Amino acid sequence: MNGGEVMTATIRNPIIRGCNPDPSILRVGDDYYIATSTFEWMPGIQIHHSRDLANWRLIGHVLTKDTGVDLRGVIDSAGIWAPSLSYHDGLFYIVYTVVRTRVGAFKDVLNYVVTSTGILGPWSEPVFLNASGFDPSLFHDDDGRKWVVNVQWDNRPDRPSFAGIVLQEYDAQARGLIGPIKTILRKECLIEGPNLYKHDGRYYLMLAEGGTGWNHGISMARADSVDGPYECDPATAVLTSRDDAAYPLQKAGHGELVQTQSGAWYLAHLASRPIGQDRRCMLGRETCLQRVVWTDDGWLRLKSGRTAPALQAASVLDECQWDAESTRDDFDAETLGLQWASLRAPVSDDWASLSSRPGWLRLRGRESLHSLFDQSLVARRVEESFAVAETCLEFAPKHFSQSAGLVCWYDTKTHYYLRVTRDEDMGVVIGIAYTDDGQYGELNESRIVADEWDRFYLRAEIEEERLQFFASPDGKTWSRVGPVLDASKLSDDYGAGLHFTGAFIGLCAQDFVGRAAVADFDYFSLKYELAANITRTLRFSHSVTGNSGNLNAVAGAGSFVPGRP
């Protein structure tokens, strides 16, 4: 932490940026923790820490290679949903859902609980709870009893799929659910994400309402008994941004409450920041924080008196900043940093090694970027819509089926890939492969012949919805590769079906003939600029040559001129 004069912290939303949805917030003593969904990415369930509610840092994960979880084969935006974090009698609890089927009439889901005496683990092996629906949370009543609430899913075509909120008791000694299952609330609208609280002798049920998109919000209900009957809040929403399409924070909803040491209340929730003409949320659903108060008649309201989430708020706590994270990873550590994630399975030395060539990350090529099983891909969340990613690669492909490079990723159906590969006629080439809502293509007309290059410096520059790739043999003289691409397609709002994650940038390698071709990466950097003109600040002094290519179907409207004022 940084020293200096003590002052009250300022909360600037989002407090945790990039793909960090479904926040579950908890205070233990003077420490605050937030757990968020990770879907198909491993390690599972990110944990952030704060002491002032304004400054947060990633400190660990719950589901790792040492905790039994298998996501191989789950489709995009399935996997780990909506963890709920709680603490009682010296023990941390997290309940969460593993989603195996999420498209169509059925939801094949498994709900689990894990425990630990410390927030950094080790966490217990998962204990199965139920499979009736998703979004479970655990409530510790003041009489010592514990209760699990979750969504009841109904697959029948003549019934509402979201069939209400069900309640069942949890036996901590037996480590399982006991007793009858009771539906405690149904509403005509879609409700999910239930959380129970007790305030002034009443039980309060917080709900995510209206779906996870533009109509999202948070509502409340209350009862005198934990199993109801529950009366709904006369207000239509405690929090929502559905009433103002131009507001900077959209899709606000799915939240949890926390009370400070001094008795103040805050609401952690998700929201998204749209960009560009099409208002797509490339950064995914992010975590925000609002000050809330209880009214004289016993209902929860935002302190601002509005329902729209505030962009900024005062914390009641003294500021406690963390040391700034490095924007560059030189791969000198024994393990990858906490910010790195892999798809569906933990990183392992057989395909991602930091020891085979010290100071380098060695990826061994495996399956394609469309695979739901064994990809050699590691990536980091994109946290701002002005970003520059860069790497240096040594790679000697022998066949067109061997590739390695820099990938701008949403999921297996939508991504852009700046790769080094081999062409039978041209030799080693640098070019762009892409998948656009499931349709694969290559920009062969914009390839760079790089047969004489010893190293391949690769860069991706994002200015909101505009993405431009570059390549260099020395890290000084850069050439554009391909046209300006539409970065906003890397979002929840593009393509067929529902999506729940956000944009990532990372490194990957493929070898379709099974020879595990070796790709060595010297470093990876990811920098953000909050103002436009990232090119001038980061690369304006370097030489740039053109190699635009053409991709009208993928490129965004307008043109992106590097170095523009």
Residues in contact with 468: Cβ distance below 8 Å, sequence separation at least 6, in sequence order: 460, 461, 480, 482, 484, 485, 560, 562
pLDDT in single tens digits along all 565 residues of the chain: 444 556 899 999 999 999 999 999 999 999 999 999 999 999 999 999 999 999 999 999 999 987 878 899 999 999 999 999 999 999 999 999 999 999 999 999 999 999 999 999 999 999 999 999 999 999 999 999 999 999 999 999 999 999 999 999 999 999 999 999 999 999 999 999 999 999 999 999 999 999 999 999 999 999 999 999 999 999 999 999 999 999 999 999 999 999 999 999 999 999 999 999 999 999 999 999 999 999 999 999 999 999 999 999 999 999 999 999 999 999 999 999 999 999 999 999 999 999 999 999 999 999 999 999 999 999 999 999 999 999 999 999 999 999 999 999 999 999 999 999 999 999 999 999 999 999 999 999 999 999 999 999 999 999 999 999 999 999 999 999 999 999 999 999 999 999 999 999 999 999 998 888 999 999 999 999 754 444 443 443 344 555 554 444 344 333 333 322 2
Residue ending a domain, choose from 286, 318, 350: 318
pLDDT at 66: 78
Q: Return d(Cα 76, Cα 158) in angstroms, integer.
A: 27
Domain co-membership, 265 together with 345: no
Per the CB < 8 A criterion, the answer to whether 457 and 438 are in contact is no
Question: Domain tally for the chain?
Answer: 2
pLDDT at 482: 98
Domain co-membership, 407 together with 539: yes
Residue 334: other Cβ atoms inside 10 A = 7
- 555 within some domain: no
Place of tokens 């659903």: 285
Domain co-membership, 137 together with 191: yes
- 286 within some domain: yes
E strands, 278-351, are 286-294, 300-302, 312-318, 328-329, 341-343
pLDDT at 546: 59
Count, in order, helices (H) and strands (E) of the chain.
Answer: 1, 41
- 323 within some domain: no
Residue ending a domain, choose from 277, 293, 318: 318
Residue ending a domain, choose from 295, 318, 341: 318
- 560 within some domain: no
Catalytic choice (40, 192, 383, 486): 192
Token readout for 31 is 């420490």
CATH number of the domain enclosing 510: 2.60.120.200
pTM: 0.94
Place of tokens 């609430």: 149
Domain co-membership, 70 together with 35: yes
- 2 within some domain: no
According to the 3-state scheme, what is the secondary structure of 168-184?
Answer: EEEECCCCEEEEEEEEE
Q: How big is the chain by its Cα radius of gyration, in Å?
A: 24
Element (H, E) at 539: helix 534-539
Token readout for 545 is 């040559």
Domain co-membership, 70 together with 97: yes
Q: Return d(Cα 79, Cα 72) in angstroms, integer.
A: 9
Residue 117: other Cβ atoms inside 10 A = 11
Q: Return d(Cα 473, Cα 471) in angstroms, integer.
A: 7
pLDDT at 265: 98
pLDDT at 545: 55
- 565 within some domain: no
| Residue 352, φ and ψ in degrees, nearest 5 | -140, 105
Token readout for 141 is 């009543």
Q: Return d(Cα 240, Cα 224) in angstroms, integer.
A: 26
Domain co-membership, 111 together with 183: yes
Domain co-membership, 299 together with 344: no
Domain co-membership, 354 together with 395: yes
| Domain assignment of residue 479, given as a range | 328-545
Token readout for 479 is 């050439």
Domain co-membership, 215 together with 284: yes
Question: Using CA of residue 371, residue 376, residue 380, residue 384, what is the dihedral sign?
Answer: negative
- 232 within some domain: yes
pLDDT at 557: 34
Long-range CB contact pairs, 100-106, < 8 A, 24+: 100/74, 102/75, 102/77, 102/78, 102/498, 103/75, 103/497, 105/155, 105/157, 105/161, 106/155
Residue 528: other Cβ atoms inside 10 A = 15
Domain co-membership, 309 together with 338: no
Domain co-membership, 86 together with 164: yes
CATH number of the domain enclosing 233: 2.115.10.20
According to the 3-state scheme, what is the secondary structure of 17-49?
Answer: CCCCCCCEEEEECCEEEEEECCECEECEEEEEE
- 250 within some domain: yes
Residues in contact with 144: Cβ distance below 8 Å, sequence separation at least 6, in sequence order: none
pLDDT at 196: 98
Whether the bond into 229 is cis, omega within 30 of 0: yes
Domain co-membership, 300 together with 400: no
Q: Return d(Cα 238, Cα 216) in angstroms, integer.
A: 11
Catalytic choice (22, 169, 390, 436): 22
Q: Return d(Cα 565, Cα 562) in angstroms, integer.
A: 9
520 is catalytic: no
22 is catalytic: yes
